[in-house]
Amino acid sequence: MRFMGISQELQAIGRPMLDAQLAHPTVRGIANGDLPEEVFRSWLEQDYLYLHDYVRVFCRLAWQAPDKHLGDLVDLAYSTFHDELNLHRSLSAEFGADLEGAVKGPACAAYTSFLLEAAANYAEGLAALYPCMWGYSTLGQILAKNPPAEPRYRRWVETYADPNFAALADRIAVMLDEANPDPERAKALFIEGMNHELAFWDVPV
At 4, is the pLDDT very low, low, confident or very high (cuts 50, 70, 90)?
Answer: low
**Per-residue pLDDT at 2 exceeds 90:** no
Q: What is the pLDDT of residue 1?
A: 42
Question: What string of H, E and C letters represents the secondary structure of the chain?
Answer: CCCCCCHHHHHHHHHHHHHHHHCCHHHHHHHHCCCCHHHHHHHHHHHHHHHHHHHHHHHHHHHHCCHHHHHHHHHHHHHHHHHHHHHHHHHHHHHCCCCCCCCCCHHHHHHHHHHHHHCCCHHHHHHHHHHHHHHHHHHHHHHCCCCCCCHHHHHHHHHHHCHHHHHHHHHHHHHHHHHCCCHHHHHHHHHHHHHHHHHHCCCCC
State how far the Cα of 173 lies from the Cα of 133, in Å rounded to an integer.
9
Angle between the 67-79 and 37-64 helix axes, to the nearest 10 degrees? 160
Could you tell me which residue, 4 or 195, shows the higher pLDDT? 195
Give pLDDT tens digits for 84-130: 898 889 999 999 999 999 999 999 999 999 999 999 999 999 999 99
Identity of residue 102: A
State how far the Cα of 103 lies from the Cα of 137, in Å rounded to an integer.
26
How far is the CA of 65 from the CAs of 73, 123, 172, 201, in angstroms?
A: 8, 9, 12, 31
State how far the Cα of 55 lies from the Cα of 53, in Å rounded to an integer.
5
Give pLDDT tens digits for 148-200: 999 999 999 999 999 999 999 999 999 999 999 999 999 999 999 999 999 99
**Per-residue pLDDT at 201 exceeds 90:** yes
Nearest alpha-carbon partner for 172 in 158, 186, 155, 188: 186
Percent of the chain with pLDDT over 70: 98
Q: Report all structural domains of the chain as residue ranges with CATH numbers, in order of start.
A: 7-200 (1.20.910.10)
